[in-house]
Structure 1
Amino acid sequence: MNLPRRRFLAASAAALTPMIGPAARAQPAPTPGFPVRPVRLIVPFPPGGATDALARQIAENLARQWQHPVVVDNRPGANTMLGTEVVARSAPDGHTLGIVTGSHVINPMLSARMPYDTLRDLTGVMLLTRFHMALYAHPSLPASTPAELVQLARRDPGRVAYAYATTQTLLAMELLNTMAGTRMQSVPYKGSAQAMTDLLGGHVQLLADPLTQGAMEHVRNGRLKLIGTMGERPAALAPQASLMSQAVPGYEFSGAFGLVARGGTPPALVSRIRDDFAAVLGQSEVLARIRDIGQEPIGSTSGQYNAYILAEMAKWEPVIKSTGARLD
């Protein structure tokens, strides 16, 4: 694969500039005329993972602000498409919203049988948070650093298998395989929680997943090893951890969570929802929870998020073509 390593994340970097500042932290008055009934916040993963934790913290605070329940509705399956389809088929009135990850922009390039049109049936409301990715290993794996993992995988092709819960993570690991000259095998999961349980039980050797406080507790008590983090710089939760780029020069990967609404939702309503979410993201207790699960608040306008989605599609297209990855 001949990819521009340093520019691999550059296409969307501008959209990842943090925008959650003092203005966003001010508590606004309830939005006039919205909501008029409970709001559903769709999470396309099972309970217990990073996306679910983020959604529940936001929902709790939004419910107080909106004076209506905000119900987290977990809809895992089909590489996040089952949950996102609920939003795509909802009324364009803001009462059904969805949290999405990188799979949102990758799925259209992986599947010819999408149940909805990503760009037509959905609209970006805002970027929420970004997160660092990490490689965790069961203690039985005879590798503890990025260099040792690469050496092991090269020496015994096919021996090392990694668990993953999103298509973007799969592609990030296949990019690592390509750049490192390895053939680590993939094991799909519907969500991070079950994958972590199986890793702790020794049923899988390696897990590519967001860096979280909960996972780091397992590392600190010796139940897991942290092989390394995937970003271009050290993560606050694990500042001493090795970077995967130390063994595979030029490799880097991080992810982001975003909020989407039904396509055709009035722009003024999208802006109001965005402002209310931004205010919640700026609250001290929410910021503390976000950082506790290893994420960083970003914030954006709807226009910036939609531009980010297009940039992400352009960024991942050559990776998908190079790996030949398909969902069907």
Structure 2
Amino acid sequence: MKSMASAMLAFLLFGSALAPAAAQSFPARAVRWIVPFPAGGATDALARPMADRLATQWGHPVIVENRPGANTAIGTDQVAKSAPDGHVLGMVTSALHINPLLGQNLPYDTLSDLTGVMQMTRLHMALYARRDLEAGTPAELVALARKQPGKLQYGSASPAAYLAMESLNMTAGVKMEYIPYKGSAPAITDLLGGRLALIIDPVLSSTLQYVREGRLRLIATLGAQRAELTPQTPVIGDAVPGFTYITLFGLVAQGKTPPDLVRRIRDDLARVILSPDISARIREIGQEPVASTSEDYNALIRSEMKRWEPVIKATGAKIN
């Protein structure tokens, strides 16, 4: 019995030594950074400069791989099925915590097969209106929606944004009708043409140009605080207290990756994100740097899943 206990103690001590060793020796080869969207989009523009800077820090290539499909699940599965050694990392968005609630037959368990490394950035969302809409402020929009239940149509290309609008409907006690789109561009085109009342879309310079030209109205941004790009624009919470919605961009690793290694990757990436030139690049594409701790990001993933579960149940939303 004594020899068995000694052997077990030795095994445990050996195992506890593996995590620091893994962090110290990382990386041993090229690192794959999975982006679950097509090349050329905002996530690509965010990932590639960070990957290049990490490659310089680590002395090994960091290869960005685009694996789009299934509302990000195909790319994220690459991370979930990888070895827990940090050599496969995945960029994720708010879809990470919404997909498990939408009835998808996911090939991984979000909470056990993945672990959050950090929330990297946030992207503010906004309500844009056609230029002749009889509402120019959050309070006027809520009043108009109450006056015309079911008549104000909004467009969105994102399941998460749709859920946000349905949550806004529930919180404000109004009913605005959803029109689905396959991309932001056709939704913006229809808004410019007066065929929609509103769209929910990111706060981006390209869309704000239509606001500056007087072709669209910017009613509100949806974060808890005003967006850096639009400091004069009120938040929707001014009229609907407690309501917020932003898009989160994060990085995840395989769920059994040793905590010390996760922390090492997080700290190295934080230095990249908070460097002046990368922070400036992040802001150029309309996002704001965050660089949270791993602990805070994992807690946020769980709290967001709790937040959206009743909304999804109430709407019956699913992805087939």
Shorter-chain TM-score tier: 0.7 to 0.9
1:77 pairs with one of 69, 90, 96: 69
1:207 aligns with 2:207: no
Provide the secondary structure at the position in 2 that maps to 1:80: helix
- Structure 1 residue 175 corresponds to structure 2 residue 167: yes
How well do the aligned residues superpose, as a CA RMSD in angstroms? 3.0
CA 1:158–1:103: 2 relative to 1, 3 Å: same
- For the pair 1:242 / 2:217, whether they are aligned, the reply is no
CA distance in 2, matches of 1:135, 1:44: 26
- Aligned counterparts of 2:37 and 2:311: Cα–Cα separation in 1: 24
- Judge which range, 39-48 or 189-198, deviates more: 189-198
Q: Which has more helix, going by share of residues?
A: 2
Alpha-carbon offset, residue 140 of structure 1: 5.7
Q: Distance in 2 between matches of 1:48 and 1:226?
A: 26
Q: Describe the superposition over 1:233-266 as per-residue Cα deviations: whole angstroms up to 9, x where unpaired.
A: 3222111113223333433223422110122223
Helix, strand or coil for the counterpart of 1:172? helix
The alignment status of 1:60 with 2:56, answered yes or no, reads no
- What percent identity do the matched residue pairs reach? 57
Decide which moves more: 90-99 or 200-209.
Answer: 200-209
CA distance in 2, matches of 1:194, 1:81: 24
Q: Which runs of 4+ in 1 moved over 6 A?
A: none
Matches within 5 A, 1:35-46: 35-37=28-30, 39-46=31-38
User: Please, which of 308, 321, 325 is the counterpart of residue 300 of structure 2?
Assistant: 308
| SS of aligned partner of 1:59 | helix
2:254 corresponds, among 234, 252, 262, to: 262
Does structure 1 residue 295 correspond to structure 2 residue 276? no
8 Å contact kept, 1:130–1:255: yes
TM-score w.r.t. structure 1 length?
A: 0.78
Note the residue ranges of structure 2 that are not aligned, 5 or more in a row.
1-22
Flag the structure with larger Rg.
2
Structure with more relative contact order (C-alpha pairs < 8 Å, separation 6 or more): 1
User: Please, what TM-score do these two structures have when normalized by structure 2?
Assistant: 0.79
Residue 109 of structure 1 aligns with which residue?
101
Question: Using the alignment, how far apart are the partners of 1:130 and 1:153 within structure 2?
Answer: 28
Partner of 1:97, secondary structure, is strand
Counterpart mapping for 1:1-328 below 5 A: 32-37=25-30, 39-47=31-39, 49-111=41-103, 113-139=105-131, 141=133, 143-189=135-181, 192=184, 196=188, 205-328=197-320
Q: Deviations over 1:254-285 (max 9, x none)?
A: 34221101222233332222122111111111
Shift of 1:174: 0.4
Query: 2:13 maps to which residue?
Result: none
- Structure 1 segments unaligned to the other structure (5+ residues): 1-29
Q: Determine helix, strand or coil for the equivalent of 1:162.
A: strand
**Matched letter for residue 254 of structure 1:** I
